[in-house]
Chain A
Amino acid sequence: MSEVKKVRIATCSLAGCFGCHMSLLDIDERLFDLLEVVEFNRTPLTDIKHCSPCDVGIIEGGVCNAENVHVLKEFRKNCKVLVAMGACAITGGLPAMRNNIDLWDCFQEVYRYEGGLEGGQIPNDPELPLPFDKVHPIYEVVKVDYFLPGCPPSGDAIWKFLTDLLAGREPKLDYEQLHYD
């Protein structure tokens, strides 16, 4: 008996809140159906740290620091199809609210004025990802194939999107899955 080759999916969260990943889990028992046809590679769910070649990469969150760029480029390099999931990946979203604030002021506020952290020093450890002066949507850094909107997209929207994609259809969300009021 030859097993059908499963579609390989990788996911990650950059400058996001993991809400989109929570929403992915919201497809509930349909996860079992999904696992019939896909396998997860690098994702917070498997704790695999680096991508192998994949079919689909799903990115939550925008790009706020140098490490995000490395991760994003690794995904782009390994994934045939790259999906921006949720408002932050698509537009920068909530983290991009800091774009109107000078980075120096941000650092001062966090490390200087609030006592107790790093002894009033601004940390400069190379292990810490270095932030950009602004938060960017991921399409400004790599080519993105699909955008899955929502904050977060509902479990149903994610399910519809994935099943379309897996069936080889152009993903299309119904109006109910796209309006949020």
Chain B
Amino acid sequence: MEPCEYPHIEDQLAPIVGRHGGGDATHLLQILRDVQDHFHFIPPEAIGCLASHLNLSRAQIEGVAGFYSFLSLSPQGEYRVLFSDNITDNMLGKPELMQYFCNKLWVEPGKVSEDNLVSVDSTSCTGMCDQGPAALVNGWPLTNLDQNRLDLISELIRIKKPVAEWPEMLFEVRDNVQRPGMLLGEAFEHGAGIRAMLARGAEATLKEVDVANLRGRGGAGFKTASKWTFCHAAIAEEEGSMICDVGGNPERFIVCNADEGEPGTFKDRVLLSSYADMVFEGMTVGARVIGARKGFLYLRGEYRYLLKPLEAVLSRRRANGLLGENILGETGFSFDIEIHLGAGAYICGEESALIESLEGKRGRPRNRPPFPVTRGYLGRPTVVDNVETFACAARIAEKGGAWFAAMGTAQSTGTKILSISGDCARPGIYEYPFGVTVEEILRDCGAEDAHAVQVSGPSGTLVSWQEFGRRIAFEDLPTAGAFMVFHRQREMFAAAHNFTHFFAHESCGFCTPCRVGTQLQKRIMDKIANGHGTPADLEELKHVGHILGTMSHCGLGHTAANPVLDTLKKFPGTFERKLKALSFEPAFDLDGALQTARDITGRDDDWAHLS
């Protein structure tokens, strides 16, 4: 038998398990996060130990540990530095900076240094596009990276200074609110929304949300009032009897989706940094309307630095009677919120995958129907709404639906918060009434010479300069908030190429069209990038894109071909310039692939070469 490297693992794990649910398997992901922090990976011994604590099989635990990219089954460096790989970071020089950093520390990307001190790799967008290039060190965000900062960071690592003692300026994250509107600009009195709702009544408040015509801010635009109504009407049953909470009422849940993973989106970061009360208040209002006693904030792992401040906000709200038992003195109105952290999985932004993850499992999208409003968290009726949706709901509860509906367009009422990054003078957060044109936005953020905008991230729409008259609205350009600007000199192929790598990495692997399709798409784009592309490859991209869009299990696969197909349609030149003018070209360098064997055999004859 191999010697056990962690003889006291039981003692080390007990407090972690105790901290998280004390043996409740729905906390598995939270437990594994802490195990990863403690050991810098998930030791095999820990898996067996947790399996007995949580009454799960080893396979279930390994399945979860292998799914999330911040968890690792092999040892990582004591300092794990992950560079954000979004196209906006790349445009700010991420590839060169990462190489510079690796050279400085004598470590290869994706590997652990020989002294196990440091590992460096890329990670999907960390939501700091307005202050990139960005990275995470042991989960804490680093912003505005340049050579000077990397010099300092590599020195801190070399002298083994604990991350908690690093200079604060490295971790500074600015809100960058450039254009506030009714959500971000107007003062919000804590409790105002709940008070107004209690005065008006829950049903009347739902009516106000309906009148406001509030639609989901995650991009899909489902009517919030309908979602809340469906959930309120749904009752979970088990063997014919109603599942009730401790108060004897049907059990329901409300979940705030703060898994802001769409590259280029960082509005939730700002809402949760500086407007958390408004978000929690919206959740509390929603809870009252649907009859939920418990809510979750699912916070993406990249935003773990917000965990403590958010916990503090929750505590203050409990102390002020805005959360907990008998809220604001209303007998029977009890509601509380628990924060769950993700661990680096874009797919968990999909609501049913998010619920799976909340339950401590792999983030795999469920079959729908049943929708979460009827069978969600633990099979109970559950409302999952975007962070911004809840903020809007709080405002609506406070000021009424008609006030809200007066802003925006007929189908898209209210305002939309955009996170603007890329080639512009003033990146940051902009709040506009719906209906604003792309052109106006570009003028405001100082994007001169803009050539294209990726609206709503890779899964959204690429808007070319000919279409800058289009409007941000569900009727025209729906968006979750990302707005990445590209100027004339940018090669649009590079953006599409970057996005294919993103999707290939983030596909959950459950359905074949997406698991394989995203890989094929990535490889063809690599082939073209390496100068081996032909017109046949463009046809193949369209074919793969069609399969992805029509056969995939969930939205990730459905939209994974958007950037490639949009770019092919709107900027065909960027592809064609890269193609070889041939009907077919091998996918790799034939002669180069013989070099190893030539070296080994010492041959250099004609037959040892291919042209």
Contact = CB atoms under 8 A, between A and B. Distances in A.
B540 to A, nearest CB: 10
B246 interface: no
A48 interface: no
Contact of B590 (A69, A123, A127, A143): A69
A2 interface: no
A140 B586 contact: yes
B597 interface: yes
Contacts of B602: 124
Interface residues of A, number: 23
A140 B590 CA distance: 10
B605 interface: yes
Contacts of A103: 596-597, 600
Interface residues of B, number: 23
A148 to B, nearest CB: 18
B154 to A, nearest CB: 31
A130 B371 CA distance: 58
B588 A130 contact: no
Contacts of A127: 607
A126 B586 CA distance: 24
A141 interface: yes
A149 to B, nearest CB: 14
Mostly, the A contact residues are mixed
Nearest to B607: A126
Contact of A142 (B584, B595, B596): B584
A122 B601 CA distance: 6
B521 to A, nearest CB: 15
Interface string A119-140: 0001110110111111010011
A107 B608 contact: no
Interface of A: 66-67, 69, 103-104, 107, 122-124, 126-127, 129-134, 136, 139-143
Given A107-B600, A133-B597, 15 more contacts: A66-B608, A66-B610, A123-B601, A124-B602, A126-B603, A126-B607, A129-B607, A130-B598, A132-B594, A133-B594, A134-B593, A136-B587, A142-B584, A142-B586, A143-B583
3 cross-chain pairs, A with B, having the tightest CB-CB distances, nearest first: A140-B587, A124-B601, A126-B605
22 contacts: A67-B607, A103-B596, A104-B600, A123-B601, A124-B603, A126-B606, A126-B607, A130-B594, A130-B608, A132-B593, A133-B594, A133-B596, A133-B597, A136-B593, A139-B587, A140-B587, A140-B588, A141-B586, A141-B587, A141-B590, A143-B583, A143-B584
